[in-house]
Amino acid sequence: MSAEERLIRYCRIDTQSDPESRGKTPSAAKEFDLAKVLEKELRGLGLKDAKTDAHCYVYAHLPANIRSSAKTVGFIAHMDTAPDFSGTGVKPRVIRGYDGKDIVLSKDRTMKTADFPQLKSCKGMDLVVAGGDTLLGADDKAGIAIIMSMLEHFQKHPEEPHGRIAVAFTPDEEIGGGTAYFDLKKFGADFAYTFDGDEVNVIADETFNAAEATVSFTGFCLHPGSSKNRMINAANIAMEYHDLLPAEMRPEHTEKREGFFHLHAMEGSCEHAQLTYIVRNHDRRQFDWMLKLMQQAADYINARHGKKICEVKIRLEYRNMYEVMKHHPEVTRLAWEAMKEIGLTPARESIRGGTDGAMLSFKGLPCPNLGTGGGNYHGPYEYLVIDEMNKGVELAVRIAVNAGKAHL
């Protein structure tokens, strides 16, 4: 089965994680639907220990076929799709020899090159898109397809030397729970790579530092006709609070290594209001300053009203994996050299986001991220370049072969 065929098969299985069930793993029982398919496929590829655990993590190992003291290399991809857009009833469509023009997804939605100029670089290639009313799910089912196709390569080519290979497929990455119950001992790798990015020639060993901030406001409500100098409208105070944070540090005004405050949810009335932010910065000192600024804004409001009406609660999500990866340059170098060997021009990227690898790196498993050839993730304009995904399979094979030779 080709990587393309695998991708299409996996994308048709609805595995959308549920942010309302955050804290329960998996957040959606339907994630087991794909896990069970993958477990069966892994066993069919000769990985006899393939197993899905109670929390929907799939683990398997391909034994070394050489005598080597090399370390075990791991490959990881997540099974869930993002809750941002529907993942039900996905209908993948292959576009052969893309002509470089606008792509009509449905009667109501067209992916225009004016909006997505990167599409022009895909001219002549084969693409996979969805039907306009769902996301595609290549994030991260393309990563799964790459890893499974790598394993199939070794099954078909037993003469190809490699060390021990560990694979894992995780639930709930899209809602920040991908490593909640990840069993490092069961996985048994010394280092690993997540296949969960965009361009296949990019290796990412740096992420944001990340937190979620919930800011709550308590009002004092009276009849509006007799409330002068007494009413405290929580919704109004919430707007005032938001304006105290620097407008230039909103996502729509930032790029590259610039951090941001992103207001992604709000609710409010006179009596109570709540703002929910995600806070991101690559630099740890700037990140800490941003969290401190949010508390200072709350302190200012409370001081102005003479009582506590504003409260900030911070939930740290993940840290910049480079704090770990800088001590393991050999892991990045192994992927870098493999890319060059298969004809890619490698590039290094600082992700404006996070991966399972960021969390796993701080748990003791150095784990940078590799690309799968997709774009426009988390929405109806998502696409996957089949040519790049196939190159990802080649890259995974080369990393595994070289890891068997290396003494890292």
Indicate which residues carry an active-site annotation: 80, 173
Tokens of 111: 């992916």
Query: Which one-letter amino acid corresponds to residue 227?
Result: S
Q: Are 190 and 70 in contact (CB under 8 A)?
A: no
DSSP state of 71: P
How far apart CA 230 and CA 113 sit, in angstroms, is 55
Backbone angles phi and psi of 2, in degrees to 5:
-75, 165
Is 99 in a helix, a strand, or coil?
Answer: coil
Tokens of 8: 């299409």
How far apart CA 183 and CA 206 sit, in angstroms, is 23
Tokens of 205: 């060993």
Sign of CA dihedral 160, 126, 371, 178: negative
Angle between helices 3-11 and 31-44 (to 10 degrees): 150
Q: Are 207 and 355 in contact (CB under 8 A)?
A: yes
**Dmax (CA) of the chain:** 86
- According to DSSP, the residues that pair with 110 across neighbouring strands are 104
In degrees, rounded to 5, the angle at the alpha carbon of residue 350 between the alpha carbons of residues 347 and 353 is: 130
The residue among 101, 91, 74 whose CA lies nearest residue 9 is: 91
DSSP state of 282: S
Tokens of 267: 């609710």
User: What's the length of the chain?
Assistant: 408
Q: Are 76 and 168 in contact (CB under 8 A)?
A: yes
